[in-house]
Amino acid sequence: MTVNDIKNAKIKSWIEECVKMCEPDQVVVCDGSAAEYDRLVKVCVDAGLATPLAKKPHSYLFRSDPSDVARVEKRTFIASKKQEDAGPTNNWIDPVELKATMKGLYKGCMHGRTMYVIPFCMGPLGSPIAKYGIELTDSEYVVLNMDIMTRAGEKVWPYLDDNFVPCLHSVGKPLENGAKDNGVWACAPVEKKYISQFPEEHLVWSFGSGYGGNALLGKKCFALRIASVIAREEGWLAEHMLILKLTNPKGEVKYVTGAFPSACGKTNLAMLIPTIPGWKVETVGDDIAWMKFGKDGRLYAINPEAGFFGVAPGTSAQSNKNALEAASKNTIFTNCALTEDGDVWWEGIGYPAKGKLVDWKGNVRDALPKDKSPKGEEFAHPNARFTAPAKQCPCIASDWESPEGVPISAILFGGRRPSTVPLVHQSRNWNHGVFLGSIVGSEITAASTIDASQVGKIRRDPFAILPFCGYNMGDYFQHWIDVGNAAKDKDLLPKIFYVNWFRKDDNNAELPGGFMWPGYGDNSRVLEWIFDRCDGKDNFIDTPIGYMPKEGAINTDGLADYYKKTLPEILKVDVEGWKKEVKDIRENHYPKFGKHLPKELMSILDDLEKRLNAAN
Ligand code: SAT
Ligand code: MN
């Protein structure tokens, strides 16, 4: 099929306009077939951009440009008409000005390249919660990744109408006069990179980067930044959340979503292997959840994606066996190291490499006798990724593609908090849960900053959606409150919990890494308590910060003695710590949102302070 065969006039004229501006050598409408995938892989292999992996069937390694290895938040823009609508946490440029600048960049930017037209669906095809888009891109790598991460190609046309989200992408490196990429990843210098969302138009324009969320526009740009705007207009929730299916030993099922800032093990939690007998965790999604009220008044969630774009380093048989299995075939690896026998390797894979490795920059180096490397000398880039089909995950839930979604019983928030925040506590009600979401954050550690004065401070990442919210974060809090108010029956709303797997006691030499809780599969012990809480079981005590496990309510069978000893400590309310927390929220966090901060949240903060004072 060609652009001329497209029946929808709005779609056709948008593509024609982009073709006129970008001037590609040719335009290909993607059908999403296996043959097309293999043809584009061959283009990349022949161009020296991809390496087939002997050890992983139908899988390829790409190396990006060293300047194009992650999302670029500084170059990500919410171009609403009014700056106030982008809010205090987003970069804003006037949309008229931004469009003028970007049109200048897009002019002729696809010379020497092919423009691919990718029709795609976020969510199961035909689902009442799904949304549709079209990405135009000059990157074969993007087409291949979109094939895994979304439902893309010919099958989408019957569902496309005037409501599609247009997503224009260019790597921003035209090839003039027959020039070739010559095995070099194409991108533009950082000051020419623009990852732009136009919320009023539900439009995405991305220029200059070929990597991940900058370029696979269905993911963060559409499914979070634009979808959060649409969700607010339409009364639902587009969230940076995993979705898991939890089955207890009696075979009863509950679905849980969870939002965590990066580096808190979100993908690991979504694919967790419980250590408590009889329990099962299965995956519905590892990154994004779209939640809408069903006819029965419950919130139903779909995973809008079809694949995992997971961080490779740190993924091992111990940390996440299921992710390794998911990425064992039909997978694209980016910026991992290459072994002599044609496999990928990364730091934290669980075993040292042998012989020589080609590192992510393409240099051949002797492998080290361990699976760690000094900072800055990693063989795999710390943000190296695997793009794997979700259906290959051994623990994918049988109903992960259910068009009506899965009914959510619990919502989790969490962060890395070495002190103050207990292992788990439950909000008293929906608005108190919104409060917990609004204060999500991780403590800044020496490992995450070069600025020593920042260490110990909390980097707030409300709802873990800070870089992905398409509008004013204060209005976003209000939207969550409005969704709770819109519930037909408040008792049917999911229960909201705050978990913290990362409490530390560096003075206790018995604890591995100083962590007071083992995490990983043992987090199932906390999930069990949450499951029972959703059933209203009498397993809690009322505390100044919310509901917490009563003594003996967390299953400790088989837990190492030193964790049994630390458990009471991480299930206590640290009154003095929480008073400092309240002060930090009042002085440093909430003032950012000015008059957009919902008054409900301020009264919950006041109430928390009162309860803490009364606890003395
Ligand atoms: O590159 S992505 O935005 O897809 C992943 C991430 O940075 O969270
Ligand atoms: Mn994410």
* Span 180-194, pLDDT tens digits: 999 999 999 999 999
User: Which residue CA neighbors atom 4 of ligand 1 most closely?
Assistant: 213
Provide the token pair at 301: 């969630």
Smallest-distance ligand from the CA of 267:
2
Residue 559 Cα to ligand 2 middle (Å)? 31
| Position 449 pLDDT exceeds 80 | no
What is the CA 226 to chain-centroid distance, rounded?
Answer: 15
Q: Return d(Cα 214, Cα 75) in angstroms, integer.
A: 10
3-state secondary structure of 233: helix
Q: Return d(Cα 390, Cα 149) in angstroms, integer.
A: 8
Q: What is the pTM of this model?
A: 0.97
Per the residue annotation, which of 18, 264, 336, 393 is the catalytic one? 264
- Tell me the mean pLDDT in the region 15-32: 98
CA distances from 508 to 17, 557, 563 (A): 64, 22, 11
449 versus 243: the higher-pLDDT residue is: 243
pLDDT for 615 equals 95
* Span 58-98, pLDDT tens digits: 999 999 999 999 999 999 999 999 999 999 999 999 999 99
Provide the token pair at 557: 């069978």
- Tell me the mean pLDDT in the region 215-221: 98
What is the CA 577 to chain-centroid distance, rounded?
Answer: 30
As a whole-number percent, the residues of the chain with pLDDT over 90 amount to 97
Residue 616: band (very low, low, confident or very high) from pLDDT cuts 50, 70, 90: confident
pLDDT for 445 equals 76
Q: Which amino acid is at 236?
A: W
Name which of 382, 424, 390, 406 is nearest 570 in CA terms: 424
3-state secondary structure of 314: coil
Provide the token pair at 475: 């209005």
User: Which residue CA neighbors atom 2 of ligand 1 most closely?
Assistant: 213
- Tell me the mean pLDDT in the region 200-206: 98
pLDDT for 262 equals 85
* Span 484-531, pLDDT tens digits: 999 999 999 999 999 999 999 999 999 999 999 999 999 999 999 999
Do 323 and 309 form a contact (C-beta atoms < 8 A)?
Answer: no
- Tell me the mean pLDDT in the region 590-599: 98
Active site residue 264: yes
Asked whether 292 lines ligand 1 (CB < 6 A), one says no
Name which of 97, 96, 100, 92 is nearest 75 in CA terms: 92
Residue 444: band (very low, low, confident or very high) from pLDDT cuts 50, 70, 90: confident
As a whole-number percent, the residues of the chain with pLDDT over 70 amount to 100
Q: Any idea which residue has 């979070």 for tokens?
A: 224
* Span 404-436, pLDDT tens digits: 999 999 999 999 999 999 999 999 999 999 999
pLDDT for 263 equals 83
* Span 255-294, pLDDT tens digits: 999 999 988 999 999 999 999 999 999 999 999 999 999 9
Q: Return d(Cα 605, Cα 613) in angstroms, integer.
A: 12
Smallest-distance ligand from the CA of 214:
1
| Position 447 pLDDT exceeds 80 | no
Asked whether 260 lines ligand 1 (CB < 6 A), one says no
| Position 569 pLDDT exceeds 80 | yes
User: Which residue CA neighbors atom 6 of ligand 1 most closely?
Assistant: 213
- Tell me the mean pLDDT in the region 460-478: 98
Provide the token pair at 324: 């390794």
Do 396 and 282 form a contact (C-beta atoms < 8 A)?
Answer: yes
User: Which stretches of 286-426 are assigned E, i.e. beta strand?
Assistant: 289-293, 299-302, 307-311, 332-334, 337-339, 344-345, 356-358, 364-366, 385-389, 406-414, 424-426
Residue 454: band (very low, low, confident or very high) from pLDDT cuts 50, 70, 90: confident
| Position 144 pLDDT exceeds 90 | yes
| Position 149 pLDDT exceeds 90 | yes
Which ligand 1 atom is at minimum distance from the Cα of 262?
A: 8
User: Which stretches of 423-465 are assigned E, i.e. beta strand?
Assistant: 424-426, 441-443, 458-460
* Span 531-547, pLDDT tens digits: 999 999 999 999 999 99
Asked whether 314 lines ligand 1 (CB < 6 A), one says no
User: Which residue CA neighbors atom 7 of ligand 1 most closely?
Assistant: 71
Residue 204: band (very low, low, confident or very high) from pLDDT cuts 50, 70, 90: very high
Asked whether 386 lines ligand 1 (CB < 6 A), one says no
- Tell me the mean pLDDT in the region 153-165: 98
Name which of 409, 373, 592 is nearest 497 in CA terms: 409
Q: Return d(Cα 496, Cα 425) in angstroms, integer.
A: 9
Averaged confidence pLDDT in the chain = 97
Smallest-distance ligand from the CA of 383:
1
Q: Return d(Cα 382, Cα 527) in angstroms, integer.
A: 29
Residue 388 Cα to ligand 2 middle (Å)? 15
* Span 299-334, pLDDT tens digits: 999 999 999 999 999 999 999 999 999 999 999 999
* Span 341-369, pLDDT tens digits: 999 999 999 999 999 999 999 999 999 99
Compute the Cα dihedral for 216, 321, 464, 411 and give only its sign: positive
295-334 CB burial, b ≥16 within 10 A, e <16: eeebbbbbbbbbbbbbbbbbbbeebbbbbbbbbbebbbbb
